[in-house]
């Protein structure tokens, strides 16, 4: 039991001697000393004093516990920082005082040195004054020489600056002259380029105009022979819509509208309904009834027959043109790489191709290309020494006509989208 009590006392002693607890107890007693005095030595009986103590000693009374706790925490945790701040301020003041003392000693020593110097100067047996005057004169002369040297150096630098400024001015003037010269050269080159451009455009116009004029002149002469007179603008517009141009200015200014390019066309294709509507609009804008759109259409057909530079056909005839092109080039089809595989699966030679059997033809108009899709059967010659695997292949291809001039001038065709397979009749 004695050991237990001793351990308990040691534990409580540690807790009581804790800085926070000790500070709290001390401040708590300071804030509440009057309550204890009234409890022990106040008037009235002990029970009355106990009741009075209980009424005041509760948690609603902040003075009983909160303020002592705050003061204890400030004392424990804030007081060390306050001590550090005090030491810093004290050290600063000590340094200031020390510096002031040392400064005072330094000033005293300086004054003492001046006093000794004056005593040394006033000694009649000392030649200090002569040496001092001589040293002052030498210093003045040295300063004068230094000032003169610096002045001469500044003069030299100023002269160099003038020379550099003059050089820069000359270089600037030369640069301006070179710039003006380059501008004149560029201007001459630009003018020469413009002249060459205009000359080139004139040459192109000269190359185009005879072709356009030939068509316009021929159509105009055919109309005059039948006593039909319409304006040059209407004739040019009719020619423009035949070739698929949007306006008469487009056909006149198009650099591609030359005799050479027209002769390289496969044909000029038109849609009959659209062409008749365009011709009617031209005549309505002209405000004339001397000729109908169907009659003007016949004159346009006659124009292309007389000027036999290229064929003028209906779009319905493009499929026939494609079939004709296919027949003329049927042997070349068998030499295409796309059909080498299907031909190798047969036991036939395709050096001599019989007339192909066309199964289907369909026409499709694209933005810059007219296409004729075809399927056909191409037969070869049987190989007598081999087992029969088939002598015919089913070919699918497209004959593509690119738009080469205006909207209706069609260029040279080519085969595209070629595929094939061995044909096995049922």
pLDDT in tens, 338-359: 777 777 777 676 766 666 778 8
Q: Do residues 215 and 303 lie in contact, with contact meaning Cβ atoms separated by under 8 Å?
A: yes
Residue 398 in contact with residue 361, Cβ under 8 Å? Answer: no
170 burial type by CB count under 10 A (0-12 exposed, 13-18 middle, 19+ buried): exposed
As a whole number, mean pLDDT of residues 198-219 equals: 66
- Give the C-alpha separation, 245 to 261, whole Å: 15
228: left (phi over 0), alpha (psi -120 to 50) or beta: beta
3-class secondary-structure state, position 369: strand
Per-residue pLDDT of 77-104, as tens digits, reads: 877 787 778 888 888 888 888 888 888 8
CB-CB contact of 333 with 325 (8 Å)? no
Give the mean model confidence (pLDDT) for residues 143-164: 82
- Of 262, 300, 256, which Cα lies nearest the Cα of 278? 300
Contact (Cβ atoms closer than 8 angstroms) between residue 267 and residue 253: no
Mean residue pLDDT of the chain comes to 78
CA–CA gap between residue 211 and residue 302 (Å, rounded): 17
- Residues 156-172: tens digit of each pLDDT: 888 887 777 788 888 88
CA-based R_g, the chain, Å: 61
Report the C-alpha gap between 33 and 56 in whole angstroms: 12
With a cut of 80, say whether residue 197 has pLDDT above it: no
Confidence band, pLDDT 50/70/90 cuts, at residue 14: very low
d(CA 32, CA 42): 14
| Spatial separation of the C-alpha atoms in residues 348 and 357, rounded to whole Å | 17
What is the DSSP code (8-state) at residue 156? H
In this predicted structure, the answer to whether residue 278 has a pLDDT above a threshold of 60 is yes
Helix and strand numbers, DSSP H then E, in the chain: 14, 9
User: At a CB cut-off of 8 Å and minimum separation 6, what does 145 contact?
Assistant: none
- Poorest-confidence range of 78-87, 181-190, 196-205? 196-205
Q: Are 237 and 248 in contact (CB under 8 A)?
A: yes
Is residue 8's pLDDT more than 50?
Answer: no
Q: How many CA atoms lie within 13 A of 316 on its CB side?
A: 3
Phi/psi region, residue 227 (left: phi>0; alpha: psi -120 to 50; beta: rest), is left
In this prediction, residues 258-275 reach a mean pLDDT of 88
Phi and psi at residue 311, to the nearest 5°: -80, 150
More confident residue, 355 or 12: 355
Terminal-to-terminal C-alpha distance of the chain: 121
State the Cα–Cα distance between residues 275 and 307, nearest whole angstrom: 19
Determine how β-strand 392-405 pairs with β-strand 414-422: antiparallel
Phi, psi (degrees; rounded to nearest 5) at 99: -60, -40
CA distance 372 to 7: 114
The pTM assigned to this predicted structure is 0.48
More confident: 12 or 282:
282
The confidence score (pLDDT) of residue 298 equals 92
- pLDDT for residue 107 is more than 80: yes
Please name the residues in contact with 271: beta carbons below 8 A apart, sequence gap of 6 or more.
314, 315
**Which pLDDT does position 202 carry in this prediction?**
47
Contact 270, 279 (CB under 8 A): no
User: What distance in Å separates the CA atoms of residue 40 and residue 43, rounded to the nearest whole number?
Assistant: 9
Percent of the chain with pLDDT over 70: 77
Q: Residue 176: is its pLDDT beyond 80?
A: yes
Separation of CA 334 from chain center:
51
291-338: pLDDT as tens digits = 889 898 999 989 888 888 888 888 888 888 888 888 888 777 777 777
């Amino acid at each position: 039991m004695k050991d237990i009590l001793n351990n308990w006392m040691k534990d409580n002693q540690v807790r009581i001697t804790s800085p926070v607890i000790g500070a709290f107890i001390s401040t708590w007693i300071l804030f509440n000393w009057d309550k204890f005095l009234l409890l022990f030595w106040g008037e009235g009986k002990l029970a009355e004093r106990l009741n009075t103590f209980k009424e005041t000693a509760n948690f609603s009374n902040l003075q009983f516990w909160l303020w002592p706790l705050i003061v204890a925490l400030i004392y424990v945790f804030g007081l060390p920082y306050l001590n550090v701040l005090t030491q810093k301020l004290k050290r600063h003041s000590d340094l200031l005082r020390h510096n002031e003392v040392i400064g005072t000693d330094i000033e005293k020593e300086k004054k003492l040195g001046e006093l000794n110097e004056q005593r040394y100067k006033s000694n009649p047996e000392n030649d200090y004054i002569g040496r001092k005057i001589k040293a002052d004169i030498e210093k003045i002369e040295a300063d004068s020489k230094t000032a003169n040297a610096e002045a001469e150096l500044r003069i030299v630098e100023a002269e160099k600056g003038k020379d550099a400024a003059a050089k820069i001015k000359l270089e600037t003037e030369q640069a301006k002259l070179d710039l003006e010269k380059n501008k004149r050269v560029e201007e001459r080159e630009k003018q020469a380029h413009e002249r060459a451009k205009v000359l080139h455009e004139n040459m192109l116009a000269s190359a185009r105009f005879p072709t356009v004029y030939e068509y316009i002149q021929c159509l105009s002469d055919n109309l005059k022979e039948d006593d039909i007179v319409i304006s040059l603008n209407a004739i040019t517009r009719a020619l423009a819509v035949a070739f698929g141009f949007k306006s008469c200015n487009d056909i006149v200014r198009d650099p591609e509208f030359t005799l050479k390019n027209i002769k390289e066309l496969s044909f000029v294709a038109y849609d009959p309904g659209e062409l008749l509507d365009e011709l009617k609009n031209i005549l309505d804008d002209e405000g004339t009834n001397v000729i109908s759109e169907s009659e003007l259409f016949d004159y346009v057909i006659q124009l292309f027959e007389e000027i036999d530079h290229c064929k003028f056909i209906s779009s319905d005839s493009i499929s026939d043109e494609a079939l004709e092109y296919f027949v003329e080039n049927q042997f070349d089809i068998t030499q295409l790489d796309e059909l080498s595989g299907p031909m190798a699966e047969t036991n036939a030679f395709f050096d001599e191709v019989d007339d192909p059997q066309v199964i289907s033809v369909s026409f499709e108009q694209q933005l810059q290309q007219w296409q004729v899709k075809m399927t056909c059967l191409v037969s070869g010659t049987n190989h007598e020494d081999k087992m029969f695997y088939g002598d015919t292949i089913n070919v699918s291809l497209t004959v593509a006509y690119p738009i080469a001039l205006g909207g209706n001038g069609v260029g040279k065709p080519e085969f595209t989208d070629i595929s094939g397979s061995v044909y096995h009749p049922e």
